[in-house]
Amino acid sequence: MSFVSRLLTRTARLSGPAVLLAFLLTSAGASAQVDKAQYDQGEKLFKANCGSCHKPDKDMTGPKLQGAKALWEGKGDVHEWVKNSQAYIKSGNEYAKQLFADHNQIVMPPQAVSNEDIDAILYYADNFAPPASAKPKEAAPAAEAPKSNWEWWVITGLVLLLVLLSLGGVRFQLNNAVREKQGLAAEPAIGTWGRIVRWAKRNKGWASVAVLLLVVWGSVLTWNFLFRIGVYGGDKVAHYKPSQPIAFDHTLHAGKDNLAINCQYCHSGAEKSRHAGIPSANVCMNCHKAVSEGKTTGTAEIAKIYEAVGWDPKTNTYTGHEKPLVWNKVHNLPDLAYFNHSQHVAVAKLECQKCHGPVDTKMDQIEQWEPLTMGWCIQCHNETEVKVAGSDNGYYQEIHRRLTETPMGRMELKKYLEDEKITVRELGGWECAKCHY
Ligand code: HEC
Ligand code: HEC
Ligand code: HEC
Ligand code: HEC
Ligand code: HEC
Ligand code: HEC
């Protein structure tokens, strides 16, 4: 829908009879008695369930809810819509279909609320009054990255070492003060290293144990290091997590309890092509034209989207000065290997999370979860069963035909089924040429 027509619907809404009526009622003053209990109940429910996408009086991801009840009168059942908007669209309601189309087909997830709850929420929205003493929001301080255990150990160790060394120095000075009193010549300063060597000479047994420990520790570190070269995911190594130009949070946008945006709304290539693709900033603008402020980063991060597409939020116009975003690539297979998303997402019907980990629940910053080694690919191909029979997928129907309609195929099938399942490996998932050009 074009910007102009969207503006028109918005204006139409504003001048809609319901809003007019509400305006007349409130300006009449005394006649608008607000039921405090119903209002408070509605506010609570609204904040718990709807506030991430709706505002009472302003369009956000979803339209403002003020006046929504009146808009639905005679056109459909707003209760059914809220409880399961997609099902209601499927039932054929025209208003619901139009609403969905007008909002860039963003799915409003089913809401676990009763009809009374919905009435309370809409009552609250219709009678919404912004808090009188609303203070300007302060930007939340950037959370300091907690130090890992490992770093604390090193720091504690260094502090202890410093204390020990200075104690050594103090002892040396005290010792010389005593010798001076006794009329003996001061001992020459031998330095820290000299003291260590002297201690080792006097305690040969302990010294050799210490040296042995150091050597073992060094070898383990080197060994691990050699195995980690070029491998960034999996459980043994730190996950690769490069910094990004905008603090884009996957848990907020894709998380079920948050905005619950489908992965493929942004990574639309995954179903159809080799690459999943990174969305352009224009995709962000579908929502961020209306949402200029986030709960944790205020306006700072979203302003970077505006800068990228050249959008002036004050005048709501494009300035023409674009500054495209450069996201840092997280996953990097070497050129010698070939990987295709469509094969895995559309044909194999694997969930993104199988290979990318808990993106929607854990990754406020995106990271590489799995190692992406050859061993990782072929291990899954060895374990994963392919349901060829009865598939509605043309690719599998062809394999099924080959395996059942020719004598050669039937022999092959018998061999595959010795372990009672057909795996990816058996269909060619271990052939070098499938993954290497
Ligand atoms: C994840 C985001 C999201 C949440 C959470 C959400 N909504 Fe929505 N809502 C939308 C979107 C988006 C639309 C616009 C229609 C569409 O694209 O499906 C919408 C539309 C609506 C409409 C129709 C408005 C109109 O102008 O006709 C109502 C009513 C509504 N929502 C009520 C609610 C209530 C009540 C809750 C909480 C119990 C809620 N929504 C929670 C996203 C959300
Ligand atoms: C609102 C848009 C949006 C949604 C929804 C979304 N992503 Fe992303 N995704 C991005 C952007 C932008 C990046 C670029 C890097 C970043 O996040 O900082 C990205 C990066 C990624 C990457 C890393 C790409 C690389 O460089 O290797 C993966 C993997 C990924 N997303 C998976 C998912 C999965 C899985 C889901 C669903 C659970 C999902 N995304 C939902 C916008 C989105
Ligand atoms: C379907 C709608 C939608 C899309 C698409 C979308 N966002 Fe958002 N985004 C939101 C909403 C709603 C919020 C406000 C949530 C909150 O903080 O309560 C938000 C918040 C944010 C925030 C602030 C987070 C915070 O808590 O401070 C950033 C940064 C952000 N989005 C970046 C992006 C980027 C980059 C893209 C495109 C790759 C994008 N968004 C696409 C709906 C969307
Ligand atoms: C079978 C494992 C697997 C599944 C399932 C999978 N991916 Fe990937 N994904 C990969 C691998 C491997 C790479 C690295 C590819 C490369 O570097 O060529 C990758 C790269 C990406 C990238 C960055 C590069 C690109 O292709 O654009 C994004 C974004 C991404 N995946 C998103 C998704 C989303 C969204 C889904 C679900 C719809 C998904 N992936 C499902 C394995 C998988
Ligand atoms: C989580 C499991 C999983 C992982 C990990 C995985 N795959 Fe797959 N792969 C599958 C499944 C299931 C199929 C079967 C789809 C089909 O029948 O084509 C498949 C099929 C394939 C095929 C087509 C095989 C054929 O017979 O035509 C290729 C090529 C492939 N994968 C490459 C890769 C590469 C490269 C990687 C690693 C970067 C990888 N896969 C990682 C599950 C996985
Ligand atoms: C399911 C996909 C798949 C199959 C089948 C496969 N490979 Fe690989 N292979 C990969 C991937 C992915 C990499 C890159 C791994 C990495 O970067 O750690 C790779 C890397 C390699 C490398 C380079 C190792 C290195 O350290 O750079 C060689 C050599 C190789 N494969 C040989 C083979 C041979 C020979 C076969 C057949 C017996 C084979 N591959 C079958 C996916 C596959």
In the prediction, which pLDDT does 4 show?
40
Q: How far is the CA of 325 from the centre of ligand 1 (A)?
A: 30
Token pair 């690719």 in the structure block, residue: 395
Of 187-191, 362-366, 429-433, the poorest mean pLDDT is in 187-191
In the prediction, which pLDDT does 227 show?
59
Q: What is the mean pLDDT of residues 116-137?
A: 78
Q: How far is the CA of 350 from the centre of ligand 5 (A)?
A: 10
Protein residue whose Cα sits closest to atom 36 of ligand 6: 432
**Chain-centroid distance, C-alpha 272:** 22
In whole angstroms, give the CA distance from residue 288 to residue 282.
Answer: 9
Which among 71, 78, 90 is positioned nearest to 21, based on CA atoms?
71
In the prediction, which pLDDT does 142 show?
41
Exposure on the CB side of residue 340, measured as CA atoms within 13 A: 11
Highest mean pLDDT among 9-13, 105-109, 258-262: 258-262
**Torsion 81-85-87-93 (CA) sign:** positive
In whole angstroms, give the CA distance from residue 361 to residue 250.
Answer: 8
In the prediction, which pLDDT does 104 show?
74
Tens of pLDDT, residues 237-288: 678 899 999 999 999 999 988 888 999 999 999 999 999 999 999 999 988 9
In whole angstroms, give the CA distance from residue 195 to residue 103.
Answer: 76
In whole angstroms, give the CA distance from residue 279 to residue 266.
Answer: 5
89 lines ligand 3 (CB under 6 A): no
Whose atoms come closest to the Cα of 307: which ligand? 3
In whole angstroms, give the CA distance from residue 96 to residue 81.
Answer: 8
Protein residue whose Cα sits closest to atom 40 of ligand 4: 352
352 lines ligand 5 (CB under 6 A): no
Q: How far is the CA of 106 from the centre of ligand 1 (A)?
A: 10
Tens of pLDDT, residues 203-216: 888 888 888 888 88
Whether 184 shows a pLDDT value over 50: the answer reads: yes
344 lines ligand 2 (CB under 6 A): no
**Using an 8 Å Cβ cutoff, are 386 and 417 in contact?**
no
For residue 29, is it left (φ>0), alpha (ψ between -120 and 50) or beta?
A: left
Mean per-residue pLDDT of the chain: 82
Whether 42 shows a pLDDT value over 90: the answer reads: yes
24 lines ligand 2 (CB under 6 A): no
Q: How far is the CA of 346 from the centre of ligand 6 (A)?
A: 23
Q: What is the mean pLDDT of residues 6-10?
A: 43
Protein residue whose Cα sits closest to atom 11 of ligand 6: 374
Of 26-35, 49-58, 372-381, the poorest mean pLDDT is in 26-35
Rounded to whole angstroms, what are the CA distances from 65 to 10, 21, 25, 69, 70? 13, 16, 18, 8, 10
Tens of pLDDT, residues 45-88: 998 888 877 889 888 788 999 999 999 999 999 999 999 888 89
